[in-house]
A and B are shown apart, each in its own frame.
Chain A
């Protein structure tokens, strides 16, 4: 296993109280695997990768039963070692806002050269030819490397960021909303490029997005995140064909499907809970049409329904009934 996370918690200690942005997440990512995390805005998915890349502010407390990368403990690793060995060599990031993640005063190529030379002994010339190769790989003209970020379009910047993330052949590329903010045509081109790159690079990908269709297209395995916890995780097929968690069912209803165009969309009523209040039971209970009394008092454990398919729900025994009811619009009326 590349990345192993067990019971990861990221808690922000604020004046108003403890914000449980990530509250007990367990997942693991293997070699050459694309792992997708889907969830609505504010569910903690960005905090999760911030914790992974040590970008959380000092006010945040990161704890876990297990948090390792290729067996090395990420919790106790000193900052210097983490920066030198982990960042970019092992874990690289394609940030959420490619538009603003390039420093406006430096040439795009130089910013990639900087990443390469920070983590390797490559000469400037070697680094530059590496940049040219990377640009070629993501479909950018190599001579664009001498341009400044403001001379790049949104799609070009996103490609440049992808090129930068691959600079040192990292074991894991974290992509935070890689297509958000781009127009659909550019999105499509980026996705196709990513799909093609998947077959050429040996890196695993951790893909984070609120766009279910992107996740479905790219991922081998998917986790559904809600209010700082993982509701369900399984192989892509399983999560779309045999979802167990009411939230997963609700999400599917809320997204248009190419397979059932005549189906009307059903949204989940209500809004996510305030994470500043400790929730003893299931975080989805307030919005769940299938809620039972015990859902509110005890946190549902991660149940392994099938190999690699884990669900945090107390009502998995009644799944046939729940799936049938979830298709009805009336069920989701609050």
Chain B
């Protein structure tokens, strides 16, 4: 297990490095001169050259790349072109907001999906099974911006049950993550985005759990668990669901890949001050340092969640053991 964790961690680091490199190339391939935002073409040639030198843009690409990597590691991510705030500080705040929404939304879909999938398979072809399958098809086919807008129109504008956007009432003084998670207002603001995220992501873990559960229920060790005289709920949870869960973990790493796109949309619809919204804002304002760092931070977040999924898979399935002794 230790070898497995080390191997997975190294792979994740390698992936982050690859993403950083791709971002470096991508941002230099972008049409238009990104430096035009800060180095005005109206300045005279000498001043332009001096500024380029100051930013290190006169160096060859390879030197710029090494410098870029060094700055990444030392968290010297530059300053925003538009607000001149250090990019790291901007992101640090936004990162938590995204993590909270994404974490709560995804956990909610996973836990509920796994539970529903288990029940659906146990009483297959029952009313819950058929109803939930149809509901899953509908909610999965509806793009999150439609679901989100419908929720906003009905529950916020018409019924006034929930705020129309943001994470806190305007003007709230926030001094840290702790302040946020202990505030009732935060949860009030969290409801609609979470429902939107969950409606979109619930279907996959639920249907995968159902299918996997049905397959497991047909296996010999389930019949044997029944023969052992275990009560049905123990057969269902401890023997069947425990094994079926592994398929859900596998799929949820795939699901995480789609999470970035969904996150950007949901944060935009609900004006959630997270990295997804920041990415959209930065792109619109040609704020390259912020955009570049946001891309990277979101990628790192997904890679970390994938890493967690891999580790939990290794923990769930004793047969996964890289370098461990196994025979037979």
Contacts and interface: CB of A to CB of B under 8 A. Distances in A.
Interface string B194-238: 000000000000000000000000011101111111110010000
A151 interface: yes
A156 B219 contact: no
B243 A101 contact: no
A100 B221 contact: yes
A289 to B, nearest CB: 39
Nearest to A150: B319
A22 interface: no
B328 A103 contact: no
Interface in B311-328: 316-319, 326-328
Nearest to B316: A105
A153 B223 contact: no
Interface in B217-264: 219-221, 223-231, 234, 239, 242-243
A294 interface: no
Contacts of A95: 220, 223-224, 227
Contacts of A96: 220
A98 to B, nearest CB: 9
Nearest to B222: A103
Size class of A's contact patch? 20 to 34
Interface in A134-150: 148, 150
A93 B328 contact: no
Contact of A150 (B223, B239, B242, B326): B326
Contact of B328 (A83, A114, A153): A153
A93 B224 contact: yes
Given A105-B243, A114-B230, A118-B229, A151 B224 contact: no
Contacts of B220: 95-97, 100-101
Contacts of A114: 228, 230
A84 B234 CA distance: 14
A148 B318 contact: yes
B268 to A, nearest CB: 42
A118 B228 contact: yes
Contacts, number: 69
Interface residues of B, number: 23
B228 A87 contact: yes
A293 B224 CA distance: 45
Nearest to B245: A105
Nearest to B224: A101
Nearest to B219: A100
B98 to A, nearest CB: 34
A150 B327 CA distance: 7
A312 interface: no
A45 to B, nearest CB: 16
Given A83-B229, A83-B231, A88-B228, A148 B221 contact: no
Contacts of B230: 83, 114, 118
A104 B318 contact: yes
Interface string A77-104: 0000001101111000101110011111
Interface string A31-54: 000000000000000000000010
B326 A151 contact: yes
Contacts of B243: 103-105
A88 B228 CA distance: 6
A148 B221 CA distance: 14
Most chain A beta-carbon contacts within 10 A, residue among B227, B234, B327, B328: B227
B327 A151 contact: yes
Given A101-B220, A151-B326, 7 more contacts: A55-B227, A83-B230, A88-B229, A101-B221, A103-B242, A119-B229, A153-B328
Interface of B: 219-221, 223-231, 234, 239, 242-243, 316-319, 326-328
8 contacts: A55-B223, A104-B317, A104-B319, A115-B228, A118-B228, A148-B318, A150-B318, A151-B326
